[in-house]
Structure formats: structure tokens, C-alpha cells
């Protein structure tokens, strides 16, 4: 695949980036080197390689799901800077 100036312009537009002509030339070279590397990897025979689902043999260790004592709603709200009897009060962030 050939990386040309139009491709760099298209990628810059999609990413909402602006580049100087010098930066475009540098990025074009970098992209071409990356694509050449990936194309080189495509030359390898990977038909006998098993897919890797995990990078290590470690597995998730889940804790036992059990109910433990917790604080009450009143205890949770007592140090709140602003609260009513059931909820924390927070500043409005959505404007209509």
C-alpha cells in the first residue's frame, strides 16, 4: 500500500488534526514504514500458530461472592457537603 499526501490529509481530517507541510512529509514517511512492516509480517506462514487469548497462563481469581456488613445510608450521607435524607446533592451539569 502506498501512503500518499491525500491519505495523510484524509487521516488528519478524520482525526481533526492540522499539519504543516513538513509534518505531513514526516508523517507520510512514518506511516509508510509502519505499513511496510505490517506487510512484511504478512509474508510469514502463521497457519500452524494457535491464537493467543491471554498473554500469560494466569487466570482470573474470583473472590467468593458473599454479603458483608456495610454502612447505612445515613452514615454515608453524614459527611456529604450537601445532601437530603436520601441522596447526595450535586451541582447541575446539564443545561437545557
User: Does residue 16 form part of some domain?
Assistant: yes
Which range of residues forms the domain containing residue 37?
5-41
Q: Report in angstroms the alpha-carbon separations of 96 from 10, 59, 89, 93.
A: 35, 47, 19, 10
Number of domains in the chain: 1
Mean pLDDT of the chain: 89
Average pLDDT over residues 3-14: 93
pLDDT of residue 23: 94
User: Does residue 90 form part of some domain?
Assistant: no
Question: Residue 18: which CATH number?
Answer: 1.10.20.60
User: Does residue 75 form part of some domain?
Assistant: no
* Range among 12-21, 71-80, 82-91 rated most confident: 12-21
User: Does residue 73 form part of some domain?
Assistant: no
**Alpha-carbon gap, residue 41 to 34, rounded angstroms:** 11
User: pLDDT for 28-60, tens place per residue?
Assistant: 999 999 999 999 988 888 889 888 887 887 778
User: Does residue 83 form part of some domain?
Assistant: no
pLDDT at 92 over 90: no
Which residue has better confidence, 1 or 45? 45
pLDDT of residue 26: 95
Q: Nearest 5°: phi and psi at 88?
A: -75, 140
| pTM (2 d.p.) | 0.48
C-alpha cell at 73: 445510608
User: Does residue 23 form part of some domain?
Assistant: yes
End-to-end CA distance of the chain: give it in Å, rounded.
48
pLDDT at 95 over 80: no
Amino acid at each position: 500500500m502506498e501512503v500518499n499526501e491525500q491519505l495523510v490529509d484524509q487521516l488528519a481530517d478524520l482525526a481533526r488534526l492540522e499539519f504543516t507541510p513538513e509534518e505531513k512529509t514526516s508523517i507520510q514517511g512514518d506511516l509508510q514504514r509502519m505499513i511496510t512492516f505490517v506487510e512484511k509480517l504478512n509474508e510469514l506462514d502463521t497457519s500452524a500458530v494457535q491464537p493467543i487469548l491471554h498473554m500469560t497462563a494466569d487466570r482470573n481469581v474470583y473472590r467468593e461472592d458473599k454479603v458483608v456488613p456495610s454502612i447505612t445510608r445515613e452514615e454515608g450521607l453524614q459527611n456529604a457537603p450537601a445532601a437530603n435524607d436520601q441522596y447526595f446533592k450535586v451541582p447541575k451539569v446539564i443545561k437545557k
